[in-house]
Amino acid sequence: MKASRMTKTHGSHKAQKLVELGWTIKHEFKADNETYEWYLEWEHVEDPPLGSSQDNCEEECSMPNDNG
């Protein structure tokens, strides 16, 4: 069973790089129609690439439930 891993970033360039590595954007925080923070999830069985989750917040991130 895979363990969900979360990370966050404040830069659009880093968010794009994480997506290219296989991370999925789960939530974007915006102000004045500009995104200032991205929360991403690693949805794969294997471990994420080294160096891709230096802002890792597996335990401390509390994500809003968008499922209802």
Model-level pTM? 0.65
Pairwise CA distance, residues 23 & 53, whole Å:
10
Q: Encode pLDDT of 30-54 as tens digits.
A: 999 999 999 999 999 888 886 544 4
Per the CB < 8 A criterion, the answer to whether 42 and 5 are in contact is: yes
Q: Encode pLDDT of 10-25 as tens digits.
A: 999 999 999 999 999 9
Pairwise CA distance, residues 55 & 68, whole Å:
28
Tell me the domain boundaries of the chain.
1-63
Pairwise CA distance, residues 25 & 18, whole Å:
9
Q: What is the pLDDT of residue 2?
A: 58
- pLDDT tops 90 at residue 60: no
